[in-house]
Amino acid sequence: MIRANDNYSKLKASYLFSDIAKRVDEYQLKNPEAHIIRLGIGDVTRALVPSVIKGFHEGVDEMANDATFRGYGPEQGYAFLREKIAKNDFQNRGADISADEIFVSDGAKCDTGNFQELFATDIKVAIPDPVYPAYLDTNVMAGRTGECEDGRYDRIIYMDCLKENNFLPGLPDEKVDLIYLCFPNNPTGSTATKEELKVWVDYAKENKALILFDAAYESFIRDEELPKTIYEIEGAREVAVEFRSFSKTAGFTGTRCGFTVVPKDCMIFNSKGDKISLHAMWNRRHTTKFNGVSYPVQKAAEAVYSQEGKAQIKEQVAYYLNNADIIRETVESLGFDYIGGKNSPYIWVDGKGRDSWDFFDLLLTKSSVVCTPGAGFGRCGKQYIRISAFNSLENVTKAMDRLKEALTWRSHVK
């Protein structure tokens, strides 16, 4: 008989954003006149910039002509895009990354989930808490965990990110093999300095561990002293894989394009302790299970790196960061502690002891504003909410005015 993968039964009942959507739908059904402003899920709202649209059209036009039509492309991505990525995102920042170490894909979420397929099921995995749910859930599906009790899975090493440690994960107390890091962080918006990342690179080298580094939000870093890639850190080529996305950088959430960097210096080990090229393994997996991003989408992504594209993308990112500033100022004026919003599109707000789902329901019912409850990101998020800057200036301003009306220090924060 056909049998199920029993590891799926270990997953929590439903996915965070599905729970949010259900509650919002129920509220809208009961309040059809309510204008709901969504500051929850990190989906962009502004149109693709003109340079990207032009590149998209050029790609489509080429597909409409026999002489320029393209069928199957290289699974790793077209050279014209990989070369632009290597030069602009890495080499220009002093990071030694070549075009053939870049794998173009349909997004960072897919790649972070798929990458764990390359590793043994009995490795020890260290994951920050709070954390983007996909990191954890894909390891649950793979069978690397025990059952979930009190919100945490057995056999996973959780690295608590708290106000006391500036929401930065500390080195684990025991030896681990695989480490997930995300900066600027989702959900907290925290960032790491070069010195702080160097600690992790040194740990990985010493312990023959691997870092999976999610840099999907690097374009929101305003502080030039902060690293935008882990490959700005000496030694990172040997122990780190980096995931990037055009979703937030250039608004490709509905267009789908990202990439993963796997340096050729990066090695893992077989059961005998022999070194194996991680680059070669990922290339084998990628070419077996992925047929490549469509040509017009890659042409659109290439346009991000044109002179005009860079200027337009910078302006769009600044638009969302201005929204983040408005949210930060409002949250601060209401007396709430928070982190994020300065080098990140997310603001992580302390509910002062209030349960995050209760806080979510309060904002939804009193303000018709949707946030994301921190409990969905882990045990350490139970008293926090995440507010996203991805909406229009008009909606963000209106939402903050509603929050000011619904929330005051004396009446709601104790």
Q: Would you state the pLDDT for residue 14?
A: 62
CA angle, corner 252, sides to 247 and 253, nearest 5?
70
The angle formed by the CA atoms of residues 290, 65 and 302, to the nearest 5 degrees, is 50
Other beta carbons within 10 angstroms of residue 226's beta carbon come to: 18
Show which of 281, 306, 331 is a domain's final residue. 306
Tally of structural domains, the chain: 2
**Judgement on whether residues 242 and 346 belong to the same structural domain of the protein:** no
* 109 Cβ contact partners less than 8 Å away, ≥ 6 residues apart: 134, 245
Residue 128 phi/psi, 5-degree rounding, is -65, 155
CB 153 within 8 A of CB 136: yes
| Residue 315 · residue 47 · CB < 8 Å | no
Specify burial of residue 302 (Cβ count, 10 A radius: 0-12, 13-18, 19+). buried
CATH code, domain with 390: 3.90.1150.10
pLDDT of residue 13: 64
**Domain boundary, last residue among 306, 323, 347:** 306
Q: Which of 282, 306, 330 is the last residue of a domain?
A: 306
pTM score, whole prediction:
0.95
Rounded distance between C-alpha atoms, residue 162 and residue 177, angstroms: 23
Tell me, yes or no, whether 278 and 312 share the same domain: no
Instruction: Using alpha carbons, list the distances in angstroms from residue 146 to 7, 134, 138.
Output: 9, 17, 13
Instruction: Evaluate the omega torsion of the peptide bond into residue 32 and state whether it is cis, within 30 degrees of 0.
Output: no
Examine the domain organization and report whether 29 and 126 are in the same domain: no
- Domain shared by 134 and 147, yes or no: yes
Structure-token pair, residue 107: 């997004």
Predicted pLDDT of residue 167: 97
- The token duo for 276 is 């194996």
Q: Same structural domain for residues 397 and 327?
A: yes
In the structure encoding, which two tokens stand for residue 145, read together?
């965990």
* 3-class SS letters over the chain: CCCCCHHHHHCCCCCHHHHHHHHHHHHHHHCCCCCCEECCCCCCCCCCCHHHHHHHHHHHHHHCCCCCCCCCCCCCCCHHHHHHHHHHHHHHHCCCCCHHHEEEECCHHHHHHHHHHHCCCCCCEEEEECCCHHHHHHHHHHCCCCCEECCEECCEEEEECCHHHCCCCCCCCCCCCEEEEECCCCCCCCCCCHHHHHHHHHHHHHHCCEEEEECCCHHHCCCCCCCCCHHHCCCHHHCEEEEEEHHHHHCHHHCCCEEEECCCCCEEECCCCCEEEHHHHHHHHHHHHCCCCCHHHHHHHHHCCCHHHHHHHHHHHHHHHHHHHHHHHHHHHCCCCEEECCCCCEEEEECCCCCHHHHHHHHHHHHCEECEEHHHHCHHHCCEEEEECCCCHHHHHHHHHHHHHHCCHHHHCC
Contacts of 324 (CB under 8 A, 6+ apart): 340, 341, 342, 344, 345, 346, 347, 389
- Are 312 and 296 in a shared domain? no
Task: Give residue 19's pLDDT.
Answer: 85
pLDDT per residue as tens, the chain (414 positions)? 999 999 999 987 666 778 888 999 999 999 999 999 999 878 899 999 999 999 999 999 999 999 999 999 999 999 999 999 999 999 999 999 999 999 999 999 999 999 999 999 999 999 999 999 999 999 999 999 999 988 899 999 999 999 999 999 999 999 999 999 999 999 999 999 999 999 999 999 999 999 999 999 999 999 999 999 999 999 999 999 999 999 999 999 999 999 999 999 999 999 999 999 999 999 999 999 999 999 999 999 999 999 999 999 999 999 999 999 999 999 999 999 999 999 999 999 999 889 999 999 999 999 999 999 999 999 999 999 999 999 999 999 999 999 999 987 444 444
CATH number at residue 203: 3.40.640.10
Distance CA 41, CA 371 (A): 8
Q: Please indicate, yes or no, if residue 1 is contained in any of the structural domains.
A: no
Residues 155 and 271 grouped into a single domain:
yes
Token pair 């979703």 in the structure block, residue = 247
Containing domain of residue 391, as a range?
Answer: 6-47+308-412
The token pair that represents 188 in the structure block: 């907290």
Pair 41, 145 in one domain: no
Q: Say whether both 186 and 302 belong to one domain.
A: yes
